[in-house]
């Protein structure tokens, strides 16, 4: 059994913050793989399903970012998990937007959610670092992470979450390098296939009928609601 933890803050006003991209990642996994509804467990929200050969618990701590370890520790003790069975998804300032890295152990780099998890269960768990970019100066970091993603971020955020969800079974099966490479490949393909910007249309004498919008995926629709379109 594996425990996938998304880090974030549970209050509604934080739902679309950059700091909550860990929550968004496990939400995307749950939706893509038809996990059952979330329910209150382990001082947070949890659901359980199968990825690849493994049974997986998804967890979103309800203890707020700085106390995330309380919820994670409770789940780890309940299932008697080893640390390499715990995979934590979190925002990473030191990676460019749309990039991910997977690592086991290491420092917490000032991330209060990781600091709390380490304090409660130890350090040698797996981290999926999801790049959100750095605002440039230390003084702007808090404002940056606690602000919502911009509409322009949709271009990389939606395909990244979809790629994380589509390849999450590699993490469950103990192949983090393959997970990382497959997600990177999906993002490179997405960028290569992105159409060039369209030329501005000339004004017509008569208004033409508005073309019907293409159908959206569930994830795409949700992100569009998140990002205020």
Written as one string, the DSSP assignment of 58-89 is EEEESS-GGGHHHHHHHHHHHHT--GGGEEEE
How far is the C-alpha of 181 from the C-alpha of 167, rounded, in Å? 10
Secondary structure class of 99 (helix, strand, coil): coil
102-133 per-residue burial string, b: 16 or more CB within 10 A, e: under 16 = beeeeebeebbbbbbbbebbeeebbbbbbbbb
Q: Which of 14, 19, 90, 120 is catalytic?
A: 19
**Quick check: is 33 catalytic?**
no
Positions marked catalytic = 19
């Amino acid at each position: 059994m594996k425990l996938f933890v998304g880090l974030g803050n549970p209050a509604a006003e934080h739902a679309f913050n950059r700091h909550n991209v860990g929550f968004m990642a496990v939400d995307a996994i749950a939706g893509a793989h038809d996990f059952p509804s979330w329910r209150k467990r382990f001082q947070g929200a949890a659901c359980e399903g199968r990825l690849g050969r493994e049974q997986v618990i998804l967890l979103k701590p309800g203890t707020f970012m700085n106390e995330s370890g309380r919820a994670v520790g409770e789940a780890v003790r309940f299932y008697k998990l080893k640390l390499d069975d715990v995979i934590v998804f979190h925002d990473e300032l030191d990676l460019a937007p749309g990039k991910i890295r997977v690592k086991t152990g290491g420092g917490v780099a000032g991330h209060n959610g990781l600091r709390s998890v380490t304090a409660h269960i130890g350090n040698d768990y797996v981290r999926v670092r999801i790049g959100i970019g750095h605002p440039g100066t230390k003084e702007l970091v808090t404002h940056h992470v606690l602000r919502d993603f911009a509409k322009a971020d949709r271009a990389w955020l939606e395909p990244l979450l979809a790629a994380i969800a589509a390849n999450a079974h590699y993490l469950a099966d103990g192949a983090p390098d393959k997970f990382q490479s497959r997600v990177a490949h999906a993002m490179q393909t997405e960028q290569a296939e992105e159409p060039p910007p369209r030329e501005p249309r000339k004004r017509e004498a008569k208004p033409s009928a508005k073309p019907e919008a293409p159908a959206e995926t569930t994830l795409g629709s949700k992100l569009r609601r998140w990002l205020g379109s």
